[in-house]
């Protein structure tokens, strides 16, 4: 399943045993500072995940992804310069949390922004 330029939802529950690959590109959500997590992905049977493109002022959390073997993280969180300077530690924490949840994957590919933030 591929989702491009999508917006508005905050949770993906993928319980299907036949869906093996998910790609999320250029995701937007309604962002609220009091609720930093904009998209939670629950996918116990997913084997491949790609998150790329411009992610606008949002945060990700991966949950229940024990079957994931392959992950491609090539996204950039877009904020204003002022927000970026203020939110750098939060963005760093978000990427660190993603990497912690992905420590079991066999193949992990990261883009420049993710590497720079960590």
Q: Express each pLDDT in 48-71 by its tens digit.
A: 999 888 776 556 788 999 999 999
pLDDT at 78: 67
Q: What is the pTM of this model?
A: 0.80
Tell me the two tokens of residue 20.
Answer: 């093996």
pLDDT at 107: 97
Q: What percent of the chain has pLDDT over 90?
A: 36
Domain boundaries, the chain: 2-107
Q: CA–CA separation, 67 vs 95, rounded Å?
A: 20
Indicate whether 83 pLDDT > 60: no
Of 8, 3, 21, nearest to 65 (Cα)? 21
pLDDT at 81: 53
């Amino acid at each position: 399943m591929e989702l491009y330029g999508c917006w508005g939802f905050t949770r993906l529950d993928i319980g299907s045993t036949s869906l093996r690959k998910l790609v999320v590109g250029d995701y937007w959500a309604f962002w609220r500072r009091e609720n930093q997590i904009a998209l939670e992905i629950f996918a116990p049977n997913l084997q491949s995940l790609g998150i790329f493109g411009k992610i606008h002022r949002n945060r990700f959390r991966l949950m229940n992804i024990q079957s994931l073997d392959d992950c491609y993280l090539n996204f950039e969180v877009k904020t204003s310069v002022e927000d970026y300077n203020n939110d750098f530690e939060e963005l760093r924490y978000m990427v660190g949390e993603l990497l912690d949840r992905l420590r079991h994957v066999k193949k992990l590919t990261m883009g420049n922004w993710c590497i720079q933030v960590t």
